[in-house]
Amino acid sequence: MKILISPAKSLDFDSELPIKQHTKAILLKNAAKINSILKKKSPKELSELMKISEKLADLNWKRNQDWSLPFSAKNARQAIFAFKGTVYEGLDAYTLNEEQIKQLQGKLRILSGQYGLLKPLDLMQAYRLEMGTKLVIGKHKNLYQYWDETITNELNKELIENEPFVNLASNEYFKVVKPKLLNATIITPIFKDFKNDKLKIIAFFAKKARGLMVRYIIDNNIEKVEDLKGFNYANYAFDVKLSTETDLVFTR
């Protein structure tokens, strides 16, 4: 089984790491090219490009200037322990044991505007670059064009025949994947909550649930789509009436 999630804006480069093991990201040359473009931009240009505050622009200008290869345990951190958003709170990687982290490394892939595609233990340096950013790189007008089929090709290299592919990424990030070129049937879990007597996708809860689903898969060593339907963390339950073969709806 392969699982796809988005990165997070919030980062943690301070907490003590539970393991020292790390790996090297497959698309670092591409990431370095992006950084070479970002390095030339002033804080003001970054603020306008990314629609962020002056304070955040200053922080990310410094990050861009400090970014350099090669990565090591001294100047970088494993992706799964670097991202700190709501999805990652649901996953709670710090409480996984070594065997579970090994399983996570085999199953989980993280989309990234800067790095393209990351495995959990791939080293990364701090950055902020959302996939939807209209960063011009050579003849490419934005990151979607720059990454084009590259990420899909890398996913295909890993996929084995009939391997389940679970999309838990946001729409903004999953747009960089080419579904028609992907050698897999895409399974998309959808999480809805009752609010004012109506079922709705509530962004915060849905993000947390995506992380919880990843954790459920790891906790139960799930390999089959059918077994995803047993997901019951945070009181969610599979809704057979709202689901299709590829869209699995969970409600609470």
Q: Which amino acid is at 123?
A: L
Quick check: 206 and 220 in contact, CB under 8 A?
A: no
- 171, exposed or middle or buried, with CB in 10 Å at 0-12, 13-18, 19+? exposed
Paired sense of beta strands 77-78 and 108-112, if any: unpaired
Question: Once rounded to an integer, what is the mean pLDDT over residues 35-61?
Answer: 98
Structural domains counted in the chain: 1
DSSP state of 234: G
d(CA 99, CA 106): 11
Plot region of 73 (φ>0 → left; ψ -120 to 50 → alpha; else → beta): alpha
pLDDT at site 238: 98
Q: At what angle do helices 43-50 and 54-66 cross, to 10 degrees?
A: 110
Read off the pLDDT band of 235 (50, 70, 90).
very high
* pLDDT, average across residues 141-163: 96
Residue 1 CB contacts under 8 Å (≥ 6 apart), including other chains: 107, 163, 164, 165, 166, 217, 222, 223, 224
Give the rounded percent of residues in the chain with a pLDDT score beyond 90.
Answer: 99
**Angle at CA of residue 134, ends 189 and 137, nearest 5°:** 115
Q: What is the pTM of this model?
A: 0.97
Q: Could you list the residue range(s) of the whole structural domain that residue 58 is in?
A: 2-251
Contact 22, 122 (CB under 8 A): yes
Work out the average pLDDT over 162-176.
97
